[in-house]
Structure 1
């Protein structure tokens, strides 16, 4: 994450010097229409996010693109979208946000993509279960508190690129099979189909950070992803291979304001998946697809600013942080069990959140220590660089809901002056059992995280940011569609453990 937010007040106006490209996003409906003409656009694609966090879309032709589209919106069937409406109340509207328009670098047909807000046509109001609306309400609530004017977020998304993935389960069988030419398990494979023999140079388990090619076979694909993201107006700072074998990667975006960064995360996933597919490979943001190696996280850097002042900086404070920053951390740590329901929202997330593998399971704060849930990066002493890195989230999260929930927890900590406890600047895994017992940990399952959310959600409902309906719909969806369905199915390892009983 970059260190000078004030230098990027408009994160989508990028200079040629910064990246040998220039993207300026439109600000009004007329700007979009002008862009359509300028770029010889033939199709306009309308994108929005369902409640679990996947992009949905449909496309319209140019005669349908006019200023009224951005005010009146365009209809769609909300009952077919996960977490949205029932069949008897299915009619919904999409209202394109002109500030999000970008020439889609994935499509061969000249296409302009626009991210949309969801509107209830009966009430003519934003739809309460639209994740993007939740994020925008969180930013509005921040300003209403008078604490700050802006929340900057800089997530570090990790992901895998595999050569192939096969999986399935029915009444009599269940399996998954991941393949990667980088995988350490393939040192003995006859790779004649890949050019003859075996070329070696596999990534050893937990040693993927940062060998150069030929160990790192994905350098060119990551570069293509980074440049494609920049074409879409998402500024990229760095990319590299990550710790795990078999194609774990990280491409870091420059920070942005909360809702805008959630938009960027959706663009990021879209581009990663489609560029990988161009190369006959598959990208996944599933947190833990491999056993016995590191999983994929989404460490979230956060800071609060009042105009051009970073409120998290204090020259005389611990790790150069202010009281306000430490209270914000206190809120994150206090509400972390409930936050995990949005920040680590899958059953697979909790195969990552176990001790070891750099997993941030301990609810403590530290400077530099990556085994703590909340960390203060110490790369720079600049006032603009002071921020908290919350390490528990993973990239399966809906970014609109996760970023909004973290902000609300931090604000609750500030409002209540919540003490985060003493810094823990030692290796947490080297603590004695007596010392370790005094450190709270994140929940060990999605079920436990949802129970924590049921018991602790008042901080989310402040300012009507998360409505009761959104929280209950989320809990019900996760329990019925994910937790219960996993509980009903035998696991392959159970056959190893129990078949001979």
Structure 2
């Protein structure tokens, strides 16, 4: 849609408010709502003013005037607001009309422009699989007098002995993959989420209960171009959270909210096209992958330690990325091993669906920054012809846990903490600066924000420390 079509939609659908949305550096959305009668064509030319100093990672108060520039193509009718409301995603501009270099959405768009400028491809397609939990209750506190969290779910295995009405159908620890009702208590919720996603423009492919107890879920939606997929992922999270709230429940995309059971990842499928021609397919080659696709994988794995500072940017991320479990911590590629950082889907694959799957990321990532960084790493691999086979990244099609100690020792792992990932990003970020997609200021700002989070966590007394040390 363009601006005129938006105004026509406002009139025909009797829209009363228009909600303009932006995203901060960390990936949280923010909005301002304007009565529909005050929105006209000039709104799409001049934008909407806001105070950038109030958002994490943006401007200081001395230079806080900024502009939201609406993207008409992103518009959808909000299903959660009583008054008919149209939501529109915006880019962030400086007052002089230039792109604000720290705007995550603009960084994603610059990555797509850079791809076209290289002449290697005309489009990059991304398809994230964002897992989440739906809980019935969550409580947490972190203060000088105490620190704790407590979660609960009607289907959690720890409630088999709960008093009162208890029907006994609980999801066993690591036993939640594909159970039918009544064990799966959340089919209706996922159905409603999927319906609203479809109405908002997402092409939902399937949904199901995931492996963990206590309401782990997955809903897959169809891939799209890089920036549009990042838009869609934020819309996806918005719908998931609000439908859960409607049912009196709460949804979280934290990677590891439960101790001792599977965490939530965000496997990201990626491919390059030149017009309608897929560039990652070569019949008869390993996993039917082209040399370009292998070099793309080489770039992802070579830069993975630095990438992970953007794709797994929380201290909680590394509670999921623990060696010895199913978590994709091994910096290898494989056509069948789900503990590999890069997996090549081979079931029911056509030339146009040939793709690579980076399994390490999680949904605490800002999708604009994470997808842009993955593309830049892959393009660096293509330009430098980084062959993952020659660099020692596989393929490894055996069960990694059954390898000998010598074989395991040869496999590199992801960083063990957010601090280590940030160290890697400080040492390896030139590939992100190509084409001015990321700037040194953006990277330095990101590292500063994340190191501050680490300090907060490290300085907070953990209940486990009482268990370990109180009586020493």
Same fold (TM over 0.5): yes
On the 8 A contact 2:138/2:150 being kept in 1, the answer is yes
CA-CA distance at 1:316 after TM superposition: 2.5
Aligned-pair Cα RMSD in Å: 0.8
Match of 1:452 in 2: 424
Q: Does 1:45 align with 2:13?
A: no
- What TM-score comes out, normalization by structure 1 length? 0.93
Match of 1:289 in 2: 257
Correspondence for 2:341 among 353, 367, 373: 373
Stretches of structure 2 lacking an aligned partner (at least 5 in a row): none
CA distance in 2 between partners of 1:76 and 1:385 (Å): 41
CA-CA distance at 1:172 after TM superposition: 1.9
Q: Cα gap change, 1:31/1:60 in structure 2, threshold over 3 Å: closer, same or farther? A: same
On the 8 A contact 1:328/1:414 being kept in 2, the answer is yes
Q: Does 1:106 align with 2:77?
A: no
Question: CA offsets per residue over residues 267-310 of structure 1, 9 Å max, x none?
Answer: 00000000000000000001100000000000000000001111
CA distance in 1 between partners of 2:198 and 2:180 (Å): 24
Correspondence for 2:398 among 418, 422, 426: 426
Match of 1:384 in 2: 352
Q: Does 1:151 align with 2:124?
A: yes
Correspondence for 1:136 among 106, 109, 115: 109
Match of 2:64 in 1: 90
CA-CA distance at 1:74 after TM superposition: 1.2
Question: CA offsets per residue over residues 242-280 of structure 1, 9 Å max, x none?
Answer: 000000000001010000000000000000000000000
CA distance in 1 between partners of 2:326 and 2:112 (Å): 31
CA distance in 2 between partners of 1:267 and 1:381 (Å): 28
Correspondence for 2:458 among 459, 484, 487: 487
Correspondence for 2:55 among 81, 85, 94: 81
Q: How does 1:314-393 map to 2 (within 5 A)?
A: 314-393=282-361
**Which secondary structure does the structure 1 equivalent of 2:125 belong to?**
strand
Match of 2:407 in 1: 435
CA-CA distance at 1:381 after TM superposition: 3.8
Stretches of structure 1 lacking an aligned partner (at least 5 in a row): 1-25
Match of 1:302 in 2: 270
CA-CA distance at 1:139 after TM superposition: 0.3
CA-CA distance at 1:71 after TM superposition: 1.1
On the 8 A contact 2:266/2:360 being kept in 1, the answer is yes
CA-CA distance at 1:356 after TM superposition: 4.1
On the 8 A contact 2:341/2:358 being kept in 1, the answer is yes
CA distance in 1 between partners of 2:137 and 2:212 (Å): 17
**Which secondary structure does the structure 1 equivalent of 2:281 belong to?**
coil
On the 8 A contact 1:294/1:357 being kept in 2, the answer is no
CA distance in 2 between partners of 1:357 and 1:157 (Å): 19
Match of 2:374 in 1: 406
Q: How does 1:171-250 map to 2 (within 5 A)?
A: 171-190=144-163, 192=164, 196=165, 198-250=166-218
CA-CA distance at 1:200 after TM superposition: 0.8
On the 8 A contact 2:16/2:37 being kept in 1, the answer is no
Question: CA offsets per residue over residues 93-137 of structure 1, 9 Å max, x none?
Answer: 10100110111122121000000010000x320111110000000
CA-CA distance at 1:357 after TM superposition: 4.1
On the 8 A contact 2:17/2:34 being kept in 1, the answer is yes
Question: CA offsets per residue over residues 200-235 of structure 1, 9 Å max, x none?
Answer: 111001110011011100000000000011111111
- What TM-score comes out, normalization by structure 2 length? 0.98
CA-CA distance at 1:355 after TM superposition: 2.2
Q: How many residues align?
A: 468
